[in-house]
Structure formats: structure tokens, C-alpha cells
Amino acid sequence: MKVSTRTRNRLGLGAALAVSLPALASAQTVTILRQQDSNKYDPPAITALSGSEVLFMMGDTLVALNEDMQTIEPLLAKSWDVSEDGKTYTFHIKEGVKFCDGKPMTAEDIAYSINRWISPELKSGVAWRAGDVKEVVALDDYTLKYELNAPYSELLYQLAQSFGTVVDKENVEALGADFGVTGFNGTGPFCWESWDPRNEMVLTKHEGYNWGPPMYGEGAAKVDKVIWKIVPEESTRTVALLTGQGDVSYYVPYIGLGKLRSMPNIEVVRSDAAFWTNYIGFKIDKPGVSDPAVREAINLAVNREAMAEDMFFSEVDPAYSYVSKGALDYNAEVDAHLIKYDPDAAVKVLEDAGWMLNADGVREKDGVTLEPVIYTFTGEWAKTSEAVQADLLKVGINMQIQPYDATVIWGKLATQEFDMYTMGFPYVSTGDALNLYFRSANIPSPNRMNWDDPETDKLLADAAAATTDEKRASDYGDVLLKVQKAAVWLPIYEKPMQVAYVKNMAPIKPHNIYGAGLYKGLQLAFTD
């Protein structure tokens, strides 16, 4: 990175001022900077990280996930039993749990929340995550029976996600369409105070909260207030931390991380315990990108190593496999099928397949020109797309970029209008990733590739119901190999979780659940 020394000196000065002038706002308020808002805060209806990260703080789930991303910890359930056949889970619910309005929470509320999540009326895009449910009922105030039609090895991981956050039936019914818009009555360590869409979300401490997951110790939140502040501009988020206008963020642009690490008043912590892959997907039944040769050539033409170094300042690793090599059930056979940067080979693949340059310098075959349309998020993704666009232009592919704001793109991505799309996703295991994207039942979204393959469906179902680790690993491994060979994605990079915070805060251990680096917010505290 080239930074002129003059700039550096001035920056040092500014930061020194920042240290000497602490924010005048109450020290017990934590301002978290983030990039974008969610369109509402209704657990099963929202699948974006911007919704989950706030819901984790406002509400609780049956079980929690440890920072190691492996261990399931008690949360609303203090313990649970699983039947021999793996189909029935019996949860023993903690006593004394209260909603923010003071009402006690019972197993009835949990049953209501789960049934609402999977109810066909709600049309939740993530209902499948709850498993093939036969019945979820409260046996008494503190016992919940969760019965499945088939065993589901990932159930507890999925129940720790924000979609199963316990809601208050009266609250849901009273607010109707305004639920999660004008209010939300949860049992989490923080309570909804106010929401100003696209500006800020204010949460206040839930007094008397003492049912948090064991990893965070006993007791309630250590700060009085949390403000989730939306700052869409990348550079502003960086300088806001530098100047003390924000306290913590895991949305710092890569260009700013190096700078923040060098500042005496900022701490940047990193975790590699979980996985996040950014990729570009192809709609495999669209003219042009339906040809596997074209998809392979695109994989060959895009220099991801250069992008990782030049645009993301080596804060990320270039990706070639669809899931990280470190993920549970990763198939080492895939390593032989990774497509690395080789623009000459890209040209050869295209020409062998009959895609020839036309008068405009764009490749064409049988009247189809290679001008795929990509739907992309604005911001960092738009820049990534521009770099991909420039690389593809060099081999005669004229990609068209259509950027959309984060609030609308989800709707756009559920259509069949585009040829390519950008997406980043968090996952805990190979199975987690594959189930999300490659089940034919998940067409058109999140299976936006239209990958419709009975064999894949069968292998995924077998793996989910597998009773041995070996069987599960081999089934998932087969699917991974299959989709990787078909080049249905262009993986871009894998990123670690990095949280930057001001040094007068107590040390933060980043969490990785669904990419929500602060999880319950229970470790947020000031040292002075």
C-alpha cells in the first residue's frame, strides 16, 4: 500500500487528538458501525446478516453456539435429550426467563415461535433449516417436544440461528404488519428502544437478564445501550473508528484494517473459526453461461490472487473451492478440480467450444453473444464486479453490471432476470453450505443457479439423515465434487472475521455465527 508520509503524519496527529478527546456521550453506550440496515426485524422473515446480527441481541434461541463453532451451549433450554432414532428432541426449558415487557417466557412461546417459523403462511425462505418437522409442542411450561420425520444431524446448529428466535405471540398479533418494525418483545440481553430505518437502531439493556450462554458467564449486559448505526460509506466507517465516533465494527473495509491495526487506540481481532465465502454464481440455464466451457473460461480468466492482494490488501484469501478446505466434511478430491488463473487457457477453452470474437471484440456463437448480466450489491461487491468485468473483457466477454441496493437485491435475486449474481455466505460446515444452495427445493432462491439434480437431492437427504460421520462426509463430499466440476460458481475469496474496536473497551472475542461478530453483545463493556 502506498501512503504518502505526509498523510501518515497528519493521520497520526488526528488520531492523537481523538485519544485526547473522548466522546462526550455516555460512556455506557456502545456505538456499533455497520454498512446497511435490514428491512425489518422479524426472525423467520429475515435471512440477511443485517437482520440476524440485531436479532441475536434482542432475542434468544433454544440453544447457543460456542465461539469454536462446534459446541452447542444451553440458552433458553438448560438441557435436552435425543431419542434413539434421532427423531425426537426433548428440551428442558429454564425457569425465570422473562420477555422485555416483564412477562415470563414458557415452552409455549418457544413452540409458537418455531411453528411460526415453519408455517406455510409466513413463507419463510429458511423454513427448511428447521428440519422435516412432524410436530413441535410444549408438554408443560418447561418442557418442549421437537419431533422430526427423519433424523437431522444439523438440527441444534440450525436452532442456534436467529430464525428460531423466540417471539411473543401477543406482541406479534398486536403489531401485525408492524411486528419487527415498530417494536419487538424478546428475551435477549437487550431490548428494542427505537428504530429509525437506514439510520440507527437503539437497544437498551435488559435488566435482570441472567440466562445467557455459559461462555459469556453470568449476568446481564455490561453496557446500558447499544446503537447500531448505519454508515454506508466505507471510508467513513474507517475514520469514524479512528476519530472515536464509533466504538466497534466488523464492517471495516479491507483498505482501512491495516491503518487501524497501526493505531494505538484501536484493537483489531481476528478469528478463523468459521467460514465466509464470497462467490459469483451462474444461472446455468441461461444462454451463454449455460455452456460449461464458458463458466470454466470465466473461472480461468479472473485473477483472484491479484484481487485479494490489490483490492483487499491481502486481508482475504483468494478462493477456488466452494467451501473452505478447513470446513467439516470437505472432500480432498476437489483439490484436483480447482480452476486457477490462466487467461490463455480461458481463450483456448472458449475457442475450442466455438465462441469466436465478433466485430465488436465480443465472443459469439450461434447468434448468442457473451454479454452476461450480473446483479450485484452496491459497495464492495460493485468494485469486485468491476474488476471481474475488466478481466473478462480481456478474453472477449462483455459482462454487464447492474448494481442494486442491499434492501432490494434480495427480491431481484429471486427472479430469473440475470445471468450471474454476487453473494457472500457464512457457513459452519460443507453440509451447511451445500444444503443452502444446491437443493432443488431451494430454487429460485437461494438456489439461484437453478441447479436441479435428483442425484444431488438424494445425496443431500442421505447425508442429513446419516447416522455415522463417515457416511455423511462421503455423501457431502460427492455433492461438492459434482458441483465443483460443473463450475456453477466463480469463487472469489474467503474472509476471516475481523472486529475492530476502541481500546477503552474490554477485549472482544469475535464470534462467527452467521457472520454476526458480536453475537449476543454480552461481552461488550468499557474498561474505564
Partner 1 sequence: MTMAATETPEPKTETASAATPAAKPEDAPPPRRASWGRRLMRDRAAVAALGTLAIICLAALFAPLLATHDPYVNTRSVMTPPAWQTGGDIAYLLGTDGQGRDIFSRLLYGARLTLLIGLISVGLGGFVGSMIGLLSAFYPKIDAWLMRFMDMLLSFPAILLGLALVAVMGQGAVPVIIALAISSVPDCARIARGIASGVMKMEFIEAGRAVGLSDAALFRRYLLRNCISSIMIFISLRFGQVILIGAALSFLGLGARPPLAELGMMASQGRDFLLFAPHIAVIPSVAIFVIVLAANVAGDALRDVLDPRLQT
Partner 2 sequence: MISTIIDRLLLSIPVLLGVLLFGFLLLQLVPGDPARVVAGPSAAPDVVEALRVQMGLDQPILVQFWAYMERMFTGDLGRSMISNKEVTAELAAAIGPTVELMLACMIWSIPLGIAMGTMAAVKRGSIVDRAIMAISVAGVSLPIFFVGLLAVQYLGVLWLNLPFIGRGGPLWSYDGLRHMILPALSLGAILVGPVARMTRSSVLEVLKLDHVRTARAKGLSERSVILRHGLRNALIPVVTLIGLQAGYLLGGAVVTETIFSWPGIGRLVVGAILSSDFTVAQGAILVFALGFIAINLIVDVLYSLLDPRVRK
CA-wise closest residue to 505 among 15, 30, 26: 30
Alpha helix (H) residue ranges in 398-518: 406-412, 430-438, 454-465, 469-485
Using DSSP's 3-state secondary structure scheme, residue 467 falls into: coil
- Judged by beta carbon, residue 179 or residue 322, the one nearer partner 2 is 179
Q: How many CB atoms neighbour CB 488 within 10 A?
A: 22
Q: Is 10 in the site for partner 2 (CB under 8 A)?
A: yes
Among 8-16, 138-146, 256-264, 431-439, which window interacts with partner 2 (CB under 8 A)? 8-16
Among 82, 311, 443, 481, binds partner 1 (CB under 8 A): 311
At a CB cut-off of 8 Å and minimum separation 6, what does 38 contact?
46, 48, 50, 51, 54
Strand partners, 402: 375
- Judged by beta carbon, residue 14 or residue 354, the one nearer partner 2 is 14
At a CB cut-off of 8 Å and minimum separation 6, what does 518 contact?
32, 53, 56, 57, 248, 250, 499, 508, 510, 511, 524
Q: Is 255 in the site for partner 1 (CB under 8 A)?
A: yes
Query: What is the residue-wise DSSP string for 356-423?
Result: EE-TTS-EEETTEE---EEEEESTHHHHHHHHHHHHHHTTT---EEEEE-HHHHHHHTTSS--SEEEE
Evaluate whether 420 touches 399 at the Cβ level (below 8 Å).
yes
Per-residue mark of binding to partner 2, 277-296 (x: CB under 8 A): --------------------
Helix (H) or strand (E) holding 171: helix 169-175
Instruction: Specify the pairing of strand 489-494 against strand 275-282.
Output: antiparallel
Q: Which of residues 101-160 bind partner 2 (CB under 8 A)?
A: 123, 125
Evaluate whether 330 touches 268 at the Cβ level (below 8 Å).
no
Q: Min. distance of Cβ 227 from partner 2 in angstroms?
A: 10
Per-residue mark of binding to partner 2, 12-31 (x: CB under 8 A): -xx--xx--x--xx------
Among 306, 356, 408, 506, binds partner 1 (CB under 8 A): 306
Per-residue mark of binding to partner 2, 195-234 (x: CB under 8 A): -xxxxx----------------------------xxxxx-
Among 391, 419, 475, 494, binds partner 1 (CB under 8 A): 391
Among 100, 239, 349, 513, binds partner 2 (CB under 8 A): 239
Interface with partner 2 by CB under 8 A: which residues? 10-11, 13-14, 17-18, 21, 24-25, 39-40, 123, 125, 177-178, 181-182, 196-200, 229-233, 236, 239-240, 242-243, 245-246, 378, 405-408, 411-412, 414-415, 445
Binding site for partner 1 (CB under 8 A): 1-5, 7, 11, 233-235, 238-239, 253, 255-256, 259, 306, 310-311, 378, 382-383, 385-387, 389-391, 393-394, 401, 403
